[in-house]
Structure 1
């Protein structure tokens, strides 16, 4: 029988899992259909589509992990299944975080305006820079995944030494080393966060400079450049805000073994992780006019007076 906490956790997990797949699946379907129709796709839409696809994989990984916590918690940290989950989780998660960082840099290079030679050099080669970042992100994600091998070796040594007498001190040291490596694994997320933060600050400075120029020449500040700045900043800021909660979930999950209520800590960390994968993807839809219009057009609602016999209309927000 499931306890009250496990039951609530299972319901919330299933709800977030379904919502996350719907939101990210919507992004993949819209961009993929446009790709197939026009036979081409912009670099930004390619990144967004890849991000949504990797987030669907993440949702499945987290969902499977949640089921293990609910129905077989005593096997959560043991066995080849959990090692496979760790491998897929580490690679998919790190690469998806770098994808949003690449998107932040792309918006910064395309929209921000600075006269510094280094920035201009990057701006003129924006597509090449982003493609290079994508290859670098792929490499870093692979390296971070390979680094798990050391963690698995330590865990295997701990498991093999449990039945060996007079190994208490050895087990204690190995346990400390394992816990330290597990916690320090979160440091792989820091570089991508810094990259996105720098992109946001550059956009903020560029917007301030642009607004000042508009006021100096008595031009309406609500021009296309200003709107593009604000739209890109909303996307990057939402990522930074959601990522702080997402990073909090990493801290909770990796440090749960040090907390008195290990199972509750892991439950909280998983719920925060899935909320991020839903919320940030929804922001991407809202900040993209085409996807927002398609998404809103799919929402049935009653608008004004309905004709006799009609079941409803589609509500469209411009």
Structure 2
């Protein structure tokens, strides 16, 4: 018979799994429909498309881990296979955060008027080579994550109180390597995102000052775009950072978390891909209207 915690987790899986997959699949479907019609996708649209695909894969990985963890199925898998699954999950997490950073850069270059030669050249390079940038980011993150397979010692899970499927025997050298991967995979893109968001906010404040000088009370379309983009990037950054810190704290604490807190963390982690989809939909009016047209 299932325990109360297992029943709660089962309900969470039933709700968050399909919800995250469907919402992000809809975002992917909208952009693919434009591509099939011959409409060229802009740099931001390409990034949002890849974000949708990444979120679908991440939700599938989370759901698989959640089911196996909740029903104690890991005894049927080799621990190396489970560990590879976890490394794939960490790769998706890092890539998720870097995609937010690239989206923040694209929004910043589009919204902020900077006449410096460096920013003009950067804008042209990103607009023409966003696919190569995303591919290069994925390759670098993959290369960084592969050595973790040999640096961490693995032991089989002895209980069902963990959010991730295996327990790690973490040495001091492993912590240093994990800190390096966390710095590159999370801290650096978060810093870039914060910088871009700050520049966008400065541009928005300049427009507000001009409005006050002109005694205008109405918001222009450009200002609304600035505000919506800043809010979208801020929410994505907050979600990704909170998601990663939750995972990283679980690993460093060696999964010694009480059942009640573990269930709450389980719910937050499982709902994160759905949260990203909702942020993108509510932050992008064009994407939202295209989705409604596609569905109805």
Is TM (by shorter chain) over 0.5?
A: yes
Corresponding position of 1:102: 102
Mark the CA change 1:117 to 1:218 in structure 2 (over 3 Å): closer, same or farther: farther
Corresponding position of 1:239: 236
Please say if 1:271 is aligned against 2:264.
no
Please say if 1:41 is aligned against 2:63.
no
Q: How far did 1:220 drift? A: 5.3
Corresponding position of 2:250: 253
Please say if 1:290 is aligned against 2:283.
no
Q: In 2, Cα distance between the equivalents of 1:73 and 1:290?
A: 43
Deviations 1:272-305 (A, max 9, x none): 2222211121111122223323555789xxxxxx
Q: How far did 1:92 drift? A: 2.1
Q: How far did 1:16 drift? A: 0.3
Question: What SS does the corresponding residue of 2:37 show, helix, strand or coil?
Answer: helix
Mark the CA change 1:69 to 1:81 in structure 2 (over 3 Å): closer, same or farther: same
Task: Flag the structure with larger Rg.
Answer: 1
* Matched-pair contact (CA < 8 Å) for 1:69–1:76: no
TM-score by length of 2: 0.82
Q: How far did 1:72 drift? A: 1.9
Unaligned runs of 5+ in 2: 157-168
Report which stretch shifted further, 188-197 or 174-183. Answer: 174-183
Unaligned runs of 5+ in 1: 160-173, 300-313
Corresponding position of 2:175: 180
Count of residue pairs the alignment pairs up: 282
What is the 5 A alignment of 1:1-318? Answer: 1-72=1-72, 75=75, 79-128=79-128, 130-131=130-131, 133-152=133-152, 154-155=153-154, 175-177=170-172, 180=175, 184=179, 185-187=181-183, 188-219=185-216, 222-257=219-254, 259-261=256-258, 266-295=262-291
Mark the CA change 1:68 to 1:200 in structure 2 (over 3 Å): closer, same or farther: same
Mark the CA change 1:265 to 1:139 in structure 2 (over 3 Å): closer, same or farther: farther
* Matched-pair contact (CA < 8 Å) for 1:215–1:221: no
Q: How far did 1:199 drift? A: 0.8
Q: In 2, Cα distance between the equivalents of 1:258 and 1:61?
A: 19
CA RMSD of aligned residues (A): 3.0
Q: Which has the higher contact order (CA 8 A, sep 6+)?
A: 2
